[in-house]
Amino acid sequence: MPMMATTKKKTVFNADPGQLDQIRAVVGTGRYRSASELLREAIDEKLDRLRRERLEAQVESFVAEPAEPWDDELIDLQAFDSEES
């Protein structure tokens, strides 16, 4: 979910002329009110994708580790706790 700040800050970015042409074309279709709106959405999507990739890597790392003998008991306790909720 995008994080919306109460105030916005301006910044400058560099883009290839072809990228700017594509941004202007998309804004021209009416899909976005401005290039800033399109870029904010693109940044939110990219940051969300990076968070998911980092989480997936952490899960893969955890799953790849050999299980400790106490893991089964811990899993059972956690499952029991969630059933009471």
40-72, pLDDT tens digit by residue?
Answer: 999 999 999 999 999 998 888 877 776 666 566
CB of 27 closer than 8 Å to CB of 38 = yes
pLDDT band at 28 (very low <50, low <70, confident <90, very high): very high
**Which ranges of the chain would DSSP assign to H, the alpha helix?**
17-28, 35-64, 71-84
pLDDT of residue 4: 62
CB of 34 closer than 8 Å to CB of 27 = yes
Query: Could you tell me if residue 7 is inside a domain?
Result: no
Domain count, the chain: 1
Q: Tell me the CB-side half-sphere exposure of residue 25, using CA atoms within 13 A.
A: 6
Query: Could you tell me if residue 79 is inside a domain?
Result: yes
Query: Could you tell me if residue 4 is inside a domain?
Result: no
Query: Could you tell me if residue 5 is inside a domain?
Result: no
Average of per-residue pLDDT values in the chain: 84
Identify the residue whose tokens are 């700017």: 20
pLDDT of residue 22: 97
The whole-angstrom separation of Cα 25 and Cα 18 is 10
